Amino acid sequence: MVSRPFSRSAWLIAYTLVVTLLCIFVFTGNGLMDTVAFVALLVPLFMASDFDKTDPRVGGLVLAFVLLCALPVIGMRNTFYLDVAIQVGIFAVLALGLNIVVGFAGLLDLGFVAFFAVGAYLWAIVSSPHGAALLGAGFPLQGDAFFVIVIVAIFVAAGAGALLGLPVLRLKGDYLAIVTLGFGEVIRVLANNLDKPVNITNGPQGIAGIAQPLTEAARVLATDTAVPAFRWQALIYYAVVLALVLVAVLANRRLDSSSIGRSWVAIREDEIAAQAMGVPLVRTKLIAFATGAAFAGTMGVLFAAKQTFVSPESFDFNQSIGILAMIVLGGLGSIRGVMMGAGLVTILNLQILKSLSAGLNHLRATGFEILGWSFANLPTQFEPSKYERLIFGLILIAMMLYRPRGLVPAERRPISARDAGRAS
Amino acid sequence: MSFQLVLELLPSTLADGLILGLLYATIALGYTMVYGVLGLINFAHSEIFMVGAFVAVELLTYVLAGSPLHPVIQLVLAMIVAAAVSAALAGLAERVAYRPLRRSNAPKLAPLITAIGISLFLQDAVRFVESLFGQFIRPFPSMPFFDIPLPLTPNDSVPMKSLVILIVAGAMLAGLRYTVTHTRLGKAIRAVATDRMAASLMGIDVNRIVMLTFVIGGALAGVAGTLYALQFGRVDPFSGFIPGLKAFTAAVLGGIGSIPGAMVGGIVLGLIEMLIGTFVPILTNNAIGTEYKDIFAFGILILILIFKPTGLLGRPSTEKV
């Protein structure tokens, strides 16, 4: 007789191995089936990270295997998958950052992407030819200054968060929401128009030619192996993102169980009661705002380096809403849920809808018939990838109606008086 | 020299600002109604407004074009149909996406997310439907009557449509104010806004009143959409977002939940925007362009909220502890 947890673990390992082999040897393209297989490969990540149901050792092993072996191998064959993984990583950290503000502290922020833009423009300006014209001698910085600027961005974005937070944090709920929304618009307008009198952001054209980190390493690796440099570069980004996600998760966990985390939750649940119990309102909220912003700023730097191009378009209201939707879909306040929400939304937009469109186009072109109705009659406007907002909107509504607390609802952790004494 | 220019431009700028402000105010009325009753930002309101604008434009382009009716009657017909469609849509949104959440004791953020869901859905749904018939950016049909200049000062004039907007917006405000303060329905709405539980104990069908609030808000959005299309000459599926945002800003500025507040907030915002948009570029030699008017608008919003968090005409709310 095998005990249940063991059989669950065994199934998980077997499943992971089979899907990995399928992804490596059979489904290597970008078609619909390949997308399905790739998504199937990500399911074990979700199962394995549920340490309540899976043996933590087995779970950790599966996580490490998929993230460190399977994904890089598949990604080196087809860098599209690495791109998707990097995007998921970027959005996962953004979602974790917003989760601190909205999920833990209960401050509705609809302009979160502004801090992402701050980080992105920071790296774009200091590392591009445009920055050289603006800042003069000594610029642009070398690509490897990336790692320094990532650290700088943490402080710059946190500063921006505090700066916004100071005047507006006295507002509550919907008022705060509308002001942060306005702030997001302000940042977009600034990015769009700060090309005169002094050209700082280069306006709607955006900034191109942004440096990438570790290009030298990628070149050396490419000459040593038969694999071209751009693939190594993608792998390097993947590794950097993975490291940042890990740091973000650990930071989120520590914050969640720290005394400041408790204060955030107290404010979220009842501001007046929290204040009466001695929680300093403004300071606590400011820390939440600044911490969330720091996460976003860091990822902004990475985003700019990865795209080698930034323009105001990447930082509009829809992005803020997208990130908010990720954390609400996944489960506000739940770290695992938030990451899952980020993964689902990103993969839906980047992969599933696109491959659905490609599949439908194929059916239309071949005149495939179903019950006497030919796909050739399908209007050309009908392409799922063009209507991602429509589908996304429906998903949001359905989710809220059927699972208002998200896919992985946050759990209340019981805490005893002794623990509380130790934490503070 | 530039001072002379400022004086010359002032009357028309003020008139334009007033008209823009009235447009914001008419959209803001819908936000304020729903917020006053439910304490909910109906984010989908800006898209309901956009649908209303589309309905009016389509109707004037395909049904009423070339009809012998007077342009004003055509416009009124378009407004009525747009109001009906928008009202039905708002009611549907309430039924499908908000009411179930009120029952299920969902977290506070849930209705906001469904509202955003409806918004995104409507934007793309309208884009899809419109692009089946060609371009999804639709021009307002040319109606020369609304461009007839009315003299404002000896050397300045405003087009007829400004007068139309002024009259309709005034009628909307007066009608809504009368409905809320003098009718049985208005009494019921105020009762539900004050205390939903107590109102239901007094025999008021709360769900019906909430539904009616949405329907009225939607109808107002339909009329506002028609006016907006008339003023700016075109609509597209994404043209709801910015006016919606501005209207919400106006509602907050005036004190959300207050009907005269929405009107005052809208007019103040419209005037500020126009004055800054026109004069700041002139005074700074175009170093700071018209684009910055949004920044000033939000900056002023933040300032007002800091010093008077309840808005210009809002009453302070006391919190029970």
Q: With helix as H, strand as E and coil as C, how does B267-315 read?
A: HHHHHHHHHHHHHHHHHCCCCCCHHHHHHHHHHHHHHHHHHCCCCCCCC
Residue A42: pLDDT band by 50, 70, 90 thresholds? Answer: confident
CA-based nearest residue to B249, from B94, B98, B24, B23: B24
Nearest-CB residue to A397 (from B97, B301, B302): B97
What's the confidence (pLDDT) of residue A420?
53
> Residue A204 has which token pair?
């709607």
Mean pLDDT of A182-207: 84
Residue A319: pLDDT band by 50, 70, 90 thresholds? Answer: confident
Give the distance from residue A390's alpha carbon to the nearest chain B alpha carbon, in angstroms.
Answer: 4
CA-based nearest residue to A128, from A24, A235, A217, A210: A210
What's the confidence (pLDDT) of residue B54?
94
Give the distance from residue B302's alpha carbon to the nearest chain A alpha carbon, in angstroms.
Answer: 7
CA-based nearest residue to B19, from B230, B321, B245: B230
Q: Which of residues 130-159 of B touch A (CB under 8 A)?
A: 131-132
Alpha helices per DSSP H over B94-108: 99-103
- The string of pLDDT tens digits covering residues A361-386 is 787 777 777 777 777 777 776 777 77
Residue A136: pLDDT band by 50, 70, 90 thresholds? Answer: confident
* B159 φ/ψ angles, rounded to the nearest 5 degrees: -70, 160
Question: How many Cβ atoms from other residues are within 10 Å of residue A1's Cβ?
Answer: 4
Q: How far apart are the first and last CA of chain A?
A: 47
Query: Which residues lie closer than 8 Å to A7 by C-beta, 6 or more apart?
Result: none
Total residue count of chain B as it appears in this document? 321
Distance from C-alpha of A295 to C-alpha of A157, rounded to nearest angstrom: 8
Average pLDDT in chain A: 84
Give the distance from residue A407's alpha carbon to the nearest chain B alpha carbon, in angstroms.
Answer: 13
Distance from C-alpha of A298 to C-alpha of B69, rounded to nearest angstrom: 62
What's the confidence (pLDDT) of residue A413?
64
What's the confidence (pLDDT) of residue A242?
94
Q: Do A108 and B112 touch (CB under 8 A)?
A: yes
Peptide bond into A197 cis (omega under 30): yes
* Percent of all residues in chain B with a pLDDT value above 70, rounded to a whole number: 97
Question: How many Cβ atoms from other residues are within 10 Å of residue B139's Cβ?
Answer: 12
Nearest-CB residue to B41 (from A170, A177, A405): A177
The Cβ-side half-sphere exposure at B247, using a 13 Å CA radius, reads: 33
- The string of pLDDT tens digits covering residues A274-294 is 988 888 988 999 999 999 999
Ranges A88-97, A410-419, B135-144: which has the least confidence: A410-419
Residue stretches of chain B with pLDDT short of 50? 319-321
What's the confidence (pLDDT) of residue A418?
60
Q: Do B113 and A325 touch (CB under 8 A)?
A: yes
* A391 φ/ψ angles, rounded to the nearest 5 degrees: -65, -45
Q: Is pLDDT larger for residue B2 or for residue A238?
A: A238
Nearest-CB residue to A332 (from B100, B109, B287): B109
What's the confidence (pLDDT) of residue B1?
52
Q: Is pLDDT larger for residue A11 or for residue B223?
A: B223
Q: Which of residues 270-309 of B touch A (CB under 8 A)?
A: 287, 289, 291-292, 294-295, 298-299, 301-302, 305-306, 309
> Residue A281 has which token pair?
């309102």
Distance from C-alpha of B17 to C-alpha of B277, rounded to nearest angstrom: 10
Q: How far apart are the first and last CA of chain B?
A: 60
* A214 φ/ψ angles, rounded to the nearest 5 degrees: 60, 30
Instruction: Match 């209960």 to its residue by tokens.
Output: A106
Residue A86 has pLDDT above 70, yes or no: yes
String of b and e for A206-236 (b: at least 16 CB within 10 Å)?
Answer: bbeebbbbbbeebeebbeeeeeeeebbbbbb
Residue A352: pLDDT band by 50, 70, 90 thresholds? Answer: confident
Nearest-CB residue to A396 (from B113, B125, B306): B113
Residue of B nearest to A182 (CA): B298
Residue of B nearest to A390 (CA): B121
